[in-house]
Structure 1
């Protein structure tokens, strides 16, 4: 399924996403040798510094002869754009084509890899459908909690990266499972000599979100061996809700609309009677009817209403010592026909909530190679070692629903009348009915993660007979993580709430464990003033551990098969064995559901293994003849046998035709597959809780299908849920989870016309891509399941989504089963456009790169009988994105300008298509709707200047990202995940204007 977002970009790419003719030719010229496209294991052993190009092939050839679309990013260009890590580069618009990525802004959300992990997915697909390589070999998954399935970009050795090569085409027949949407190969420097120091900092104008990097690297190269090692320390500091104006007060962001006349955005927001300003909802960010604090829940009673309330009957109250009639000491803020937004929803401590997670990384990397003459054939032994420690953390805000049992002596006399919930309705009352509930702001909560990732590679490569080369390698990677968070222990809450009176004080009925009695219900307690001794008894830290292991043995050989009139037929063959295991062990209290109002999880444990064999052939049909400067065919096939689901085969056919020296046509067609990730197969049953505001039957719009369906369950038109929504997730192994299969095709044209003397060089590439995934492994968002069920005219009689939902007949609480299944179809189609222009201008050299991606379709469906649901262009899923880079170099100086663009988006059309009545369709008319569900074109500008002293061997770069201090666009609550009032989407810059500096010195 599609996932929102990414980080802005402005990197100067060598790209021609389809051809890369100019880039590859320049690379070859600079190195005085042809660039090759083989993976590391198939490079010529005699040349230790062979350039690796990910071109979707294991056969050695020039990069610009690849049938597949390739993008090349040089590390120097990324630094000019102000990127502080490889993760930021890979998550940028020019690489991902506007697709949303998981970055440090997702610390408060449940994501694969756990909080603090950064991942990348191509073509709008999840990161498990894009394969990340380091020097041509898999980067194993890393992270915390049970859902570890993709490489964490934090583990990459930033300081030693030379270039990044992105294959935007399915390539399972070459690289195996996961290469559905494409392959990213991070290439490290090979021939570093001496010692190099690098440092950088990025400082935001408004505080928080700063980045610091320091690295030292050194290497030795001689005729028969090489060695290189590096250490890199990087830190990204936290950014909180309180540090940006647009995150300090997230509102409904609605407008008034009546008789075709609409007001300004925000005019429809609920105005807080206490402040006279629009209501803020920072605790959960959900907007209207958000989580309440400083509020008491009771059975309905007569009393004095607070400012903004109506009537005299209430079931929600706020402390007010001035009230002496009705319910003395309390004023009504909810119940009956009252607007729930009268309740308190703001606590200043919520401003400490993390927007961007702080992350520290310590990275050690080393590699080496040595000639082994004793083995003959110019044999070379090589190795790599990578170790990374990631430390990340998040701050949140916790609400405590404190339930006092009916008749408890902790309840004051004037509240003893109340029965808030029936017997068994609360975990805290020891089976008794709940008399009253305190909705208490319990202050900030804290979570942290520490992940150690180790990767070791060792291999031998050399020449065989008949001019063939071989490569045999062994790789082992381990991720060991721990994750800690704090919360209330359910058993101790229950124990402390069961008290007996002891004069004017209270004691626990069960004094075991040093029990401290809960505080008596007072206005101070409702206001969040909780006794320290009691908190020390009921509050605790909980730690779980996650281990992921992967071992790989691979062998390949490549060379010439026979000769044809127009060149050599080349081939490659190989085999690979992989073994993977996962072991996530949550804390005992999380396993036993003993953390109050928090997700419960059982261990995730399982393993899988695969044995693959593959082959590839390349046939030169014509060369340097009329209408065929080059005509080459390429084909590959792979057979994979997985212990989990059995065997499958994939293939790919590609062709390159250059009718003239300035026109090239190329294309590919094939299939790919993705074996279910271990967490998708084995993730332990996990129970999570969503806010009660997500119940689709909360005051549904009259006359709609939803209203009728809610009424059929006996719910009133003014129903408001009081119970959290339970969402249950578990692995799909027992239900026969199968592998995904996909069909991939791409074709493109590359134009490189010869311009008149003095007009420079230009290259233009247009790339068509088409990916269709069947049997896609995924989960449906719980909110989507609820909406699709309750908006279905067939409702409970039609099966489908409603089969996944139950509603408790007594409490009306919802439970949603949301486990991993083989969904039916995901489809992505579109175009990549790239223009590269270079010319000598004045005394310097000008280089311009322009890239854009246009999606024609981003669609999916869950069940085979469902229609495809078109997501293209929705908020967080833009149709268009692009990047412009301009470099001007003169002597040692380089000036840079970058522009990043995310196209306008709108969700109105999507919801109109889903509408089940004229009334609901009218609600989503963009001209009159009260909801802001679209964003304008979004542009970011950056600039920098670099000076390099070749004599002193140092360089320095100074620049500014987000020159105009552009903030993200605003949308209304309820239709997309938000940060403040902005969409949760990585393409928008949350940090604001920032100044950066990079310095490098070689000794």
Structure 2
């Protein structure tokens, strides 16, 4: 791993339909046809037009949508017309996220936030942990599997009930508390439903190949009565998985290296077709998985070689070194690109006026979501992982005529005679089974809150007291090899008489024990068959297994076990908010809000026993992660109208908020925010803001239990110490440390003896652990200026908003990985008193066969990094009568100016803007945007829509010449071309009956941009096939959708 940026690489792909377009900005007095939800026929809005409202970004009741903060609103009608499959799809669109990649169903790694198949949203490229998601103004707790539950899973949202989504893209910790560094997403449900509505939706890829289809069914019912309302819904959603082989575009990944002179593509060729190979394994494994051959080693003075069988004949072997390899395993075509997901969502809300306690209203809300998801993936069985027994039978043949068994080597009865005859005594194949392994998740998420709100009897002062309880209970399952079972299957005896056939493997002709019946030594004890014995010997050298992965089912079922883990996350909150008018000024009432919030968070993640014990083969160990935190906060907010309806001062007002926070885990913080808006005339408004925000270390960063993994030997700063600059600090520190272990150098042969001749042959174990007690909160400052032009409707129904933003985050919580080693050995104060060196265990002693190698180091979460982002948002809205109907245009765009990341204060500041970059450090296109064109016919019953999404280019080395192992100097293409995606739809409405909406997403079947693999980093930029894997791009291709709504 070259550096921390590549360690933190994370890219993902969005199931994107046509982009939804926000309003120009809620900072203007918003007309109902654009910023308010267009009600479906199932709803009957009875809300009074003059009822006070609360806009996202404030806790003060206001008379309209006028706010100094840039708030974008996305309505239910936007979602329906655009054919969006989920609420997550709206929120993860490039126009909302500024074109930065998001985690969704295409990111299937267990170590992702929320675990596999989770969907999260992060604004401004600052990650989902720095974006706060609310449901009806209240915090939406994390959901998912594994210990990394740090942000809300958008799969839990009740799509059928979502009326609108308000997105505030500026820091708001002084209003909402921790996590609101980049902004706030507030999902608002409908609470004024009269009647019963059924809704059905499906989205079908034109070229589906069995995958990528979406279905959604929902029923919503409600009743509004004199003193309250009750609303409930149930929704079922299914997304079928998309496999690599379901799209021809993704089913043949190559490295995409090109000859610098001719421009022709170069690389590994398929030995059968002679064409460039799909899934090559020639340089870094970024495209394919090694399979169908093995590493043969000799005790004689001859080099190791890659060996396979010639034409599948065990009696004939051939070398496949250099660019030669066997054909790739077709099992990889069964890997999931998009996770299959099913969700079951129930939602209810209600309110009832008590007629007492200041016209008090008691209210409540309940949400239950079950998510079921799974992922199939290719597994490679090799014999290079930790935990393998030295008694495993991977040896064969003889040494100068004497069988190896005489020397005590555990020889295999299945060892190929042809390999032994070629002088190789050790043979370790790479095997890819012809069936995938499965990971699965089941998440139950419950959220319930209730409260009392009403008038205090002091002018227009209101109170709102609320208690909320959220619970995630999840189960996750991983199908992996238990290393003890693998060891058993590789240690055999001749099967005694009476051994059941299902416990026996027969050696094949051409193998050392040809015709013999063998069983696992572990099946017998003292010559007696052990009760419940189930081990079956694994014949790795069987051509059917080594070449085709056809592991017999009884062997496969014994080796692979289901490892079950459980996660619990619990959150309890209590809040009390008071707001009203303090006094009146000539320009209007001075309003205020004050309040108190209490929150308790608890996590308990219990991995499988094998994961805890570290006995999963080629898989990191994980301990039990458990911990809790308590936070208490008080806040205040003020709205001051200074001048109203005066010359050059049609409106001038100030807003300010402050919050004091105390966390049990790390201490206290105070944040504040100031907003101002000035309208010199009714049609023009300027606004500005400045504030501070924070993010407290989440439970994962504090309490994650020790998770172990291994680095390669190349991360050792002393890996080849003799080649280092002898005047460098690193060289001097290496010699100082290695000399007591390896001795002083022989002056006649300094390069091969003693400390100076050290060459690392093994890598260290790394243990990642939480930083509880040592971490402090991240802090940010943000500021912005902007303006909104709204023409009088006598001229045109037109508005245009421009906003500049700037956010800087300090003390970001991060892990350093192998940079800990670099920082230690580069230090002048090298030794145990250096904070980085203190994390590194002593090197292996002289008595160890691997003497001098690094043994292990700790990788705790630390406050180290600094990140910044700035840019300009553009929002435009225009509508006009046309041919008796109504034409509407809405456009939204973002120009990112800077996306900077600095790991250490002494490091240079890296700006990744406009590059492919790396997730977690900020990166993405400079320009993103979308356009929404609609025309409603004169009858007002038919609307047609055309949507356009644009993602600008990203360049990280177009035409760069690099040295690729085996291939030599090659040209790489690391340039993502501009991406355009179109969608069309038509909607038919029948008053009091329902509506039908149908259309096409990705109308012209736009594909993500192609990228080369990168030779030195294992594929630096994540790809799907040959295409860039980012949520900005659509993986499904052209799809047709239909949405039918029927009301009663």
Q: 1:761 corresponds to which residue?
A: 797
Pick the aligned partner of 2:369 from 388, 408, 421.
388
Aligned pairs (5 A) from 1:429-444: 435-442=426-433, 443-444=435-436
Residue among 746, 763, 778 paired with 2:784: 746
Between stretches 164-173 and 534-543, larger displacement belongs to 534-543
1:454: which partner in 2? 446
Aligned equivalent of 2:320: 333
Find the counterpart in structure 2 of residue 772 from structure 1: 808
Find the residue that maps to 2:125 and give its secondary structure: coil
| Matching of residue 490 in structure 1 with residue 490 in structure 2 | no
Structure 1 position 929, deviation (Å): 6.7
Matches within 5 A, 1:405-444: 411-413=395-397, 435-442=426-433, 443-444=435-436
Q: 1:643–1:288: structure 2 CA closer, same or farther, 3 Å change rule?
A: closer
Contact 1:598–1:689 under 8 Å retained in 2: no
- SS of the residue aligned with 1:514? coil
After TM superposition, give the deviation of residue 661 of structure 1 in Å.
1.2
1:982 to 1015, 1027, 1046: 1027
Structure 1's 778 and 765: CA in aligned 2 closer, same or farther, altered over 3 A?
same
- How much has 1:437 moved relative to structure 2? 1.8
Contact preservation (8 Å) 1:6, 1:91:
no
Render the CA deviation track for 1:288-313: whole Å, top value 9, x for unaligned: 6853112222214899xxxxxxxx95
Q: CA deviation at 1:110?
A: 2.7
Moved more, 503-512 or 574-583: 503-512
Larger gyration radius, structure 1 or structure 2: 2
What's the TM-score once normalised by structure 1's chain length? 0.86
Query: Which residue of structure 2 lines up, in the alignment, with residue 883 of structure 1?
Result: 930
Which residue of structure 2 lines up, in the alignment, with residue 316 of structure 1?
Answer: 306
Q: Choose from 268, 288, 294 the match for 1:296.
A: 294
> Is the Cα contact below 8 Å between 1:4 and 1:99 reproduced in 2?
no
Aligned 8 A contact 1:108 1:396 in 2: no
2:522 is matched with which residue?
Answer: 510
Unaligned runs of 5+ in 1: 32-44, 304-311, 425-432, 913-918
Q: Classify 1:662/1:46 alpha carbon distance in 2 versus 1 (closer, same or farther; 3 Å).
A: closer
* Aligned-pair CA distance for 1:841: 1.0
How many angstroms does 1:817 deviate by?
5.0
Q: Do the aligned partners of residues 666 and 593 (structure 1) sit closer, same or farther apart at CA in structure 2, a change above 3 Å counting?
A: same
Partner of 1:369: 351
Secondary structure of 2:915's partner?
A: coil
RMSD over equivalenced CA pairs, Å: 3.9
Instruction: Please say if 1:733 is aligned against 2:772.
Output: yes
Shift of 1:438: 2.2
- Name the structure 2 match of 1:144: 145
Matched, 1:174 2:210: no
Determine if the alignment matches structure 1 residue 970 to structure 2 residue 1010.
Answer: yes
Equivalent position SS for 2:375: strand
Change (3 A) 1:87 1:566: same
Equivalent residue, structure 2, for 1:575? 596
Shift of 1:600: 1.1
1:44-83 aligned at under 5 Å gives the runs: 53-83=54-84
Query: Comparing 808-817 with 672-681, which one deviates more in the overlay?
Result: 808-817
After the TM superposition, which of the residue ranges 656-665 and 861-870 deviates more from structure 2?
861-870
1:459-500 deviation line (CA, Å, top 9, x unaligned): 000001222000001000000000001111111222332333
Distance 1:294 1:366 in 2: 56
Alignment CA distance shift 1:2-1:406 (3 Å): closer
Determine the structure 1 residue equivalent to 2:414. none
How far off is 1:985 after superposition? 0.6
- The alignment partner of 2:1031 has SS state of coil
Residues 292 and 345 of structure 1 are in contact (CA less than 8 Å); yes or no, is this contact kept in structure 2?
Answer: no
The verdict on how the C-alpha distance between 1:109 and 1:270 changes in structure 2, with shifts beyond 3 A counting, is: farther
Matched, 1:961 2:1001: yes
- TM-score w.r.t. length of structure 2: 0.82
Task: Classify the secondary structure of the residue corresponding to 1:536.
Answer: helix
Mapped to 2, the partners of 1:607 and 1:67 lie a distance apart of: 37
Moved more, 178-187 or 801-810: 801-810
Contact 2:18 2:1001 in 1 (8 A): no
Q: Which residue of 2 aligns with 1:13?
A: 21
Q: 1:246 aligns with which of 245, 249, 266?
A: 249
Q: Does 895-904 or 314-323 show the bigger shift?
A: 314-323
Determine whether 1:565 maps to 2:586: yes
What's 1:162 paired with?
163
Q: Identify the residue that residue 309 of structure 1 maps to in structure 2.
A: none
Equivalences for 1:304-703 in 2 at 5 Å?
Answer: 313-320=303-310, 329-334=316-321, 339=322, 341-344=323-326, 346-373=328-355, 375-402=356-383, 411-413=395-397, 435-442=426-433, 443-466=435-458, 467-502=460-495, 504-511=516-523, 514-524=533-543, 525-527=545-547, 528-688=549-709
How far apart are residue 17 of structure 1 and its match? 4.0
Gap change, CA 1:940 and 1:81, over 3 Å in 2:
same
- Alpha-carbon separation, structure 2, partners of 1:169 and 1:990: 30
Cα drift, residue 962 of structure 1: 0.5
Structure 2: runs of 5+ lacking an equivalent: 1-7, 40-45, 411-423, 497-515, 524-529, 739-750, 845-849, 918-923, 1014-1018
- Distance in 2 between the 1:78 and 1:721 partners? 57
Question: CA separation in 2, counterparts of 1:881 and 1:696?
Answer: 41
Instruction: Confirm or deny: 8 A CA contact 2:871 2:895 kept in the other structure.
Output: yes
How far the C-alpha of 1:535 sits from its partner, in A, is 2.7
Q: Which residue of 1 aligns with 2:128?
A: 127
Q: Give the match for residue 847 of structure 1.
A: 888
Q: 1:129 to 1:362 in 2, by over 3 A?
A: same
The Cα of 1:695 is off from its aligned counterpart by: 10
Pair 1:945-2:945 in alignment: no
The Cα offsets for residues 197-249 of structure 1, whole Å up to 9 and x where unpaired, read as: 00000001111111100000100111012100000000000000001122111
Give the Cα separation in 1 of the matches to 2:87 and 2:271: 49
Closer/same/farther in 2, CA of residues 423 and 723 from structure 1, 3 Å limit: farther
Q: Name 2:1040's counterpart in structure 1.
A: 995
In structure 2, the residue matched to 1:269 is: 267
Equivalent pair of 1:381/1:461 in contact (CA under 8 Å): yes
8 Å Cα contact 1:18-1:767 kept in structure 2: no
1:831 and 2:893 correspond: no
Counterpart Cα distance in 1 of 2:37 and 2:645: 21
Is the contact made by 1:6 and 1:93 (CA closer than 8 Å) also made in structure 2?
Answer: no
Query: Counterpart of 1:221?
Result: 224
1:408: Cα distance to partner? Answer: 6.3
1:543-596, Cα deviation, whole Å (9 max, x unpaired) = 000000000000010000011121111110000000010000001011001111
**678 and 131 in structure 1: CA distance in 2 versus 1, 3 angstrom threshold:** same
**Paired residue secondary structure (2:257):** coil
How many residues end up aligned between the 2 structures?
A: 936
The residue number in structure 2 matching 1:34 is none
State whether structure 2 residue 956 is matched by structure 1 residue 907. Answer: yes
- 2 CA distance for matches of 1:823 and 1:964? 45
The structure 1 residue matched to 2:258, chosen from 250, 255, 260, is 255
What secondary structure does 2:24 align onto? coil
Native 8 Å contact 2:37 2:163 kept in 1? no
SS at 1:77 equivalent: helix
Moved more, 971-980 or 496-505: 496-505
Bigger Cα displacement from structure 2, 681-690 vs 161-170: 681-690
Cα distance in 2 between the residues matched to 1:699 and 1:249: 38
Cα distance in 2, alignment partners of residues 814 and 884 from structure 1? 56
**Residue in 1 aligned with 2:185?**
184
Q: Distance in 2 between matches of 1:298 and 1:697?
A: 29
State the alpha-carbon separation in 2 of the partners of residues 150 and 82 from structure 1.
26
